[in-house]
Amino acid sequence: MSNVLIGIIGVILFIGLALAGALFLGPRFQQSTNNAKASAAIQAVSQVAQAAAMYRVSEGKTLSTVENSSVLKNTGYLKQVPVNTVVPNMSFEPSMRSADGGIDNEPAAFAIMPVSGYTGSALGTDSKV
């Protein structure tokens, strides 16, 4: 009789631990996915910025804001243009901006990459990333 009671208590404990684990770890897995996407986006922008810095040092001139990452690929400073893993369905790649954020054929000062869809569009938008 005691074996039956111990077995029932064991099953109840197992079900309780399984539910507690699912409730606790579920959000943790989603958070780690978002962290991985954000890390990949940061790495992509950093890679383009470092390639642009190497281009500036080697070529003696700064990229302009109208030039994109494919210029760095064509000149051999990038093996391939980094892929935007956060918004893959819009094919946004890292692009260059001037010191004031402009894109009107000015010397590039930094690289950016969108991590959400167009304004007003939920396509590809993930605010947690």
What does the domain layout of the chain look like in residue ranges?
37-119
Side-chain-side CA neighbours of 125 within 13 Å: the count stands at 8
Q: Mean pLDDT over residues 12-20, rounded?
A: 86
The pTM of this model reads: 0.68
Token pair 């642009």 is found at: 52
Q: Is the pLDDT of residue 111 over 80?
A: yes
Q: What is the mean pLDDT of the chain?
A: 80
Model confidence at 90, pLDDT cuts 50, 70, 90, reads low
Q: What is the CA radius of gyration of the chain?
A: 24
Q: Is the pLDDT of residue 16 over 60?
A: yes
| Whether the Cβ atoms of residue 63 and residue 51 lie closer than 8 Å to each other | no
Model confidence at 117, pLDDT cuts 50, 70, 90, reads low
